[in-house]
Amino acid sequence: MILAWRGFRFEAIDLLALAWFFSIWIGYADFARRRSQRVPSLMSVMREYRREWWARIVEREMRIVDTSIAAHLGNSATFFASTTLLILGGLLALLGTTDKVVAVVEGLPFNARASPELWEIKILLLIGIFVYAFFKFTWSLRQFNFTSVLIGAAPREPQHTEAEQLFITRAAQLVHSASESFNYGLRAYYFGLAALTWFVSSGLFMIATAWIVGVLYWREFHSETLNLLKRP
């Protein structure tokens, strides 16, 4: 079944695959957030360790190790933000040569026949995914930078006061928020890999999207890493 809109021609399977992709991505994000509040997950378990980290920061007089940890976390976000910019540059260059790309890939086996307009939409989808990832990584980086400032502003000696506990809670929440943004950026990379399969076929695109969600779910809630991190 072919659908047409303002000169664009789509097959119904393409629209179904696109709707499936976004519903799975958005739905899993909401599901993972809600489930993490009820059962242990990588994010919820690490949240406890982050609060303990900040409790140790207050106790330590020398905090060189802590600033190194914050810098390392920020470097990871910087690396992915820079890599995302390179990917976006390549996709924008590809967008300007759609006709040539279509001519090349038409001869490849298993390639789904598609109009140049649909190819442009597929490339635009990837651009949108990595733009989203870029914003998440850069926001994560800024929050990790704020974390470094808080390390410098932490109380010099443990006072065991309500104000100190509030500081620890807020600082740990800031690190958790930065880690969440980083996690969302990584998740966008996973779904970007699934979106690549749309260039092959819409059916494979839907299968890859479901497979990606399965991988993410297993790692977040049932992986061996989670079992090692959980409290006895």
pLDDT tens sequence across 182-219: 999 999 999 999 999 988 888 899 999 999 999 999 99
- Rounded Cα distance, 46 and 70, in Å: 15
**Of the candidates 180, 192, 178, 193, which has an alpha carbon nearest to the alpha carbon of residue 130?**
192
Residue 174 and residue 148 in contact, taking contact as beta carbons nearer than 8 Å: no
Name the packing angle between helices 116-153 and 64-95 (round to 10°). 170
CB atoms within 10 A of CB 191: 23
Choice among 66-80, 83-97, 173-187 with the minimum mean pLDDT: 83-97
- Rounded Cα distance, 73 and 182, in Å: 10
Residue type for position 64: I
Residue 130 and residue 84 in contact, taking contact as beta carbons nearer than 8 Å: yes
Say which residues have a Cβ less than 8 Å from residue 28's Cβ, sequence separation at least 6. 213, 216, 217
Q: Which residue has the tokens 């001869």?
A: 107
pLDDT digits (tens, 9 = 90+) for 14-63: 888 999 999 999 999 999 999 999 999 999 999 999 999 999 998 888 88
Residue 223: half-sphere exposure toward Cβ, Cα within 13 Å: 14
Element (H, E) at 86: helix 64-95
Q: Mapping DSSP to helix (H, G, I), strand (E, B) and coil, where does residue 98 land?
A: helix
Element (H, E) at 10: strand 8-11
- Rounded Cα distance, 210 and 222, in Å: 17
pLDDT at residue 59, as a whole number: 87
Sign of the dihedral through C-alpha 139, 130, 46, 72:
negative
- Rounded Cα distance, 16 and 6, in Å: 19
- Rounded Cα distance, 169 and 54, in Å: 8
pLDDT digits (tens, 9 = 90+) for 124-181: 999 999 999 999 999 999 999 999 999 988 887 777 788 889 999 999 999 999 999 9
